[in-house]
Chains A and B, each alone.
Chain A
Amino acid sequence: MTTSDKDPIHIIIGNKIWGLFGSLKFTLFILFSLAVFSIIGTVIQQNQPPAFYTMEYGKWASLILRLGLEDMYHARWFSTLLVFLIVNIVVCTIDRFPPKWKSTFESKVDVDARFIKNLLNNHTIILNDEPALARERIMNVLRSKRYKIKEANNAGGMSIYAWKGMIGRFGSDVVHVSLLLILAGVIIGSIVGFKDFGAFYEGEVTTIPVSEFQFGIDSSWHGIPLPKIQRYRKASDIQLRLDKFWIDYYETGQTKQYNSILTVSDNGKEVIKGKQIWVNAPLHYKGLTFYQSSYGMAYDKVKQAEFVLKNSKSGKAIAPFFTADWNTPFDIPGTDYRIRIVGFVSDFAFDPATKTIFPKSAEHNNPAINVEIYKAGKLVSRPWLFYNYTDLFAAIPGSDYELVFQRYQGILYTGLSINKDPGTTVVWAGSVLMVVGFFMAFFIFHKKIWINVKRNGNETEVYVGGMINKNKFIFERELSEIAESIKSDISGGVRK
């Protein structure tokens, strides 16, 4: 864009800004700034609670939090740079693409010897043959090297223009467009997509919640209404059942693989039945993807537990141990007692305010089991038995029996990540396009050759010259080869 002194001030400033956004210096500035901000993001630990920064960085903490350095990649700085990058790409393309397109397709065919001699790479060949024969030779050489050819007759003789690899000049544009496409995919994902996590037990059916969005208005910034995306969660028609979860081990004891078998129902109808997933092999259904992400032991349930009944005076076992299933009445052998497991916590804790027992954590630090003891069909006690402290409380008050909670078999749950991200497809499309663009830009070269043939007395003068956008040294060699081939097997050819 050119500016003259007579232009109004806003045009001059507009052109200046346009020029800045379209400059390569601006590109370099953005790329280096992105690199520097990213480095800061890897040095300062991200997304920690504010107290962490106070502890770690002292008086600098407030600055870090104010500048948003604790969530660098979502901070205004970073998004602003990405917006600048997009603007830079768009402005550069608008500025440079049309002239490039023109110069690529509208090359001169009819050129004189002087034009060729001014080219960086050029050769002059003197032949004894007639121009028509020379033309035939030249055409054969160029065709065998897969050049496309145009020719024109002129006063002194004729001109030939040959080219190949034109597409290579647009590689960089393809890469730039692909980058915009990838960023578009990222934006789509951040608006439409969601990521969820759930723990699933064998046999349990869970309705999958999904996240939806709608556009709203946000006036919190100086009362200016700005568009806002409101997200809300709702139950979907999709239900997931875990049929089985197990872990494979290597002989050395290291984990080989985590596996879950899943059944998906949609609107009450089973649509996917017994599909096995593992790390690196998720399940897809209607845009939702279920990933094997973690596993653990239930903190509020057990499959079964093992007890021993002892004589509280002698401490001797009355009978061998017995095993009771969760929530299933079981007659204790050798007695007229009956037991039923009704509760479990993996890490026992008691809240005096509400007088409730709850698991302090999901870790199995202090497992405790809640059982009901019946005698002749009547409930006699309901004790908590501790795995770590066997004789803390009497299980059956007023009897000679002591019940020991000896062992238990927990229930494994599978941790599944549930994702929806329609932007991913766009990101992949952009990625493929980017690789295509790279190959065009780096490995296909736009080569242009001009040849002028002129009759001079008994001789035919051939001027060969060429241009390439990249890779000068390889082209130098190729042009010499072409000149050599034109000269060779024509009798009496001399190259100057």
Chain B
Amino acid sequence: MKVIMSLLFFDMAFWFYLATMILYIGYWIIKKEWLGQASTVLAIISTFAIFMMLIFRTKESGHAPFSNLYESMSFFVWIISIAYLVIEFRYKIKVVGAFVMSIAFIAMLATSMLPYRFQDIQPLNPALQSIWFELHVFSAFIGYAGFGLALGMAVMYLIKARFEESKTSHFLIDRLPPSAILDELSYKSVAWGFVFFTMGALILGAVWANKAWGTYWSWDPKETWSLITWFVYAAYLHARVTRGWRGKKAAYVAIFGFLSTVFLYWGVSFVLPGLHTYASQ
């Protein structure tokens, strides 16, 4: 099948994301207003490029663009970019972009390094032909994006909080938002991520499994790992309510949660066998 246009837009998006990441980091270092504006413009262009890639992919394949890692990673990059732009416009903090766009670019890099067969379009096998499958993946990936943002915020929080505590100063760290705001944003990202992750990965996944296989839960490794991830973020949300666990410990849990997410997304497909192995086929 023809996949020319989507590959073209993917390659374009790849270079745009690289440039966006460099500009945001540049803005963080030299803090020039024009550089900040250029970063935002380029971020919007990158987001649009990966969106066009998804549109053409859908047109070329005839199904929603999440049937393999190549497609779903691109979708992840798109969602996390939109989420980041919303935060930028709402909170007016551009330095965060250096971290989030790095995550987006690393995702693009990982996607581009996938074996060639992933770029090819495969027709959907019988189990995947369901609206529940599409809703399941769509919602789960909003969750992944939320967790990805939370990771960025948690890392920044830990750096910033360390400097605030020791009252030391460094021009790069001083330009990060106050730790209280980073903590709040990390929490908000987890909250959004957790809602969509629960809805998509667990509930809609269970609805789909029940339709396709006749059981809403079968302890398949992917299912189990999404539950593990859910336990970790549930722990995060409870930890934040407990006085001694707020701040640093919660930030570590958020980082641990994202590691679990990465394993859930990549590790399970390649390492552990199960119903979801079609993702690696």
Contact B245 A258 (CB under 8 A): no
Contact A435 B199 (CB under 8 A): yes
Among candidates B129, B188, B206, B208, residue contacting A257 with C-beta atoms closer than 8 Å: B129
Tell me, yes or no, whether A291 is within 8 Å of chain B by CB: yes
State in angstroms the CA–CA spacing of A252 and B213 once bound together: 25
Contact A424 B129 (CB under 8 A): no
As a 0/1 sequence over residues 141 to 177 of chain B, the CB contacts with chain A under 8 angstroms (1 = contact) are 0000000000000000000000000000000000000
Contact B123 A256 (CB under 8 A): yes
As a 0/1 sequence over residues 242 to 276 of chain A, the CB contacts with chain B under 8 angstroms (1 = contact) are 00000000101011111000000000000000000
Tell me, yes or no, whether B280 is within 8 Å of chain A by CB: no
B127, B214, B272 — which one has the most chain A CB atoms within 10 A of its CB? B214
Q: In the complex, which residues 176-206 of chain B have their Cβ closer than 8 Å to any Cβ of chain A?
A: 181, 184, 188, 191-192, 194-195, 198-199, 203, 206
Instruction: Count residues on chain B whose CB falls below 8 Å from chain A CBs.
Output: 47
Question: Within 8 Å CB of B181, what residues of A?
Answer: 473
As a 0/1 sequence over residues 434 to 448 of chain A, the CB contacts with chain B under 8 angstroms (1 = contact) are 110011001000000
State in angstroms the CA–CA spacing of A233 and B136 once bound together: 36
Q: How far is the CB of A21 from chain B (nearest CB, A)?
A: 15
Contact A41 B198 (CB under 8 A): no
Question: Within 8 Å CB of A434, what residues of B?
Answer: 198, 203
Contact B125 A280 (CB under 8 A): no
Contact A280 B127 (CB under 8 A): yes
Question: Within 8 Å CB of B235, what residues of A?
Answer: 27-28, 31-32, 35
Q: Which of B16-24, B106-114, B220-228 contacts A (4 or more CB under 8 A)?
A: B220-228
Tell me, yes or no, whether A11 is within 8 Å of chain B by CB: no
Instruction: Count residues on chain A whose CB falls below 8 Å from chain B CBs.
Output: 45
Contact A438 B195 (CB under 8 A): yes
State in angstroms the CA–CA spacing of A124 and B194 once bound together: 39
Contact B210 A435 (CB under 8 A): no
State in angstroms the CA–CA spacing of A282 and B216 once bound together: 14
Contact A438 B123 (CB under 8 A): no
Contact B211 A281 (CB under 8 A): yes
Contact B272 A42 (CB under 8 A): yes
Q: Which of B25-33, B39-47, B73-81, B236-244 contacts A (4 or more CB under 8 A)?
A: B236-244
7 nearest A-B pairs in the assembled complex, by CB-CB distance = A279-B126, A291-B214, A280-B130, A31-B235, A35-B231, A442-B191, A417-B214
**A residues lining the B interface (CB < 8 Å):** 24-25, 27-28, 31-32, 34-35, 38-39, 41-42, 46, 73, 186, 195, 250, 252, 254-258, 278-282, 289, 291, 293, 417, 419, 424, 427-428, 431, 434-435, 438-439, 442, 471-473
Query: What are some 16 contacts across the A-B interface (CB < 8 A)?
Result: A24-B242, A28-B238, A32-B235, A35-B228, A35-B235, A41-B224, A46-B219, A195-B215, A256-B123, A256-B126, A280-B130, A280-B211, A282-B211, A431-B206, A438-B198, A442-B194
**B residues lining the A interface (CB < 8 Å):** 122-123, 125-127, 129-130, 132, 181, 184, 188, 191-192, 194-195, 198-199, 203, 206-208, 210-217, 219, 221, 224-225, 227-228, 231-232, 234-235, 238-239, 241-242, 245, 260, 268, 272
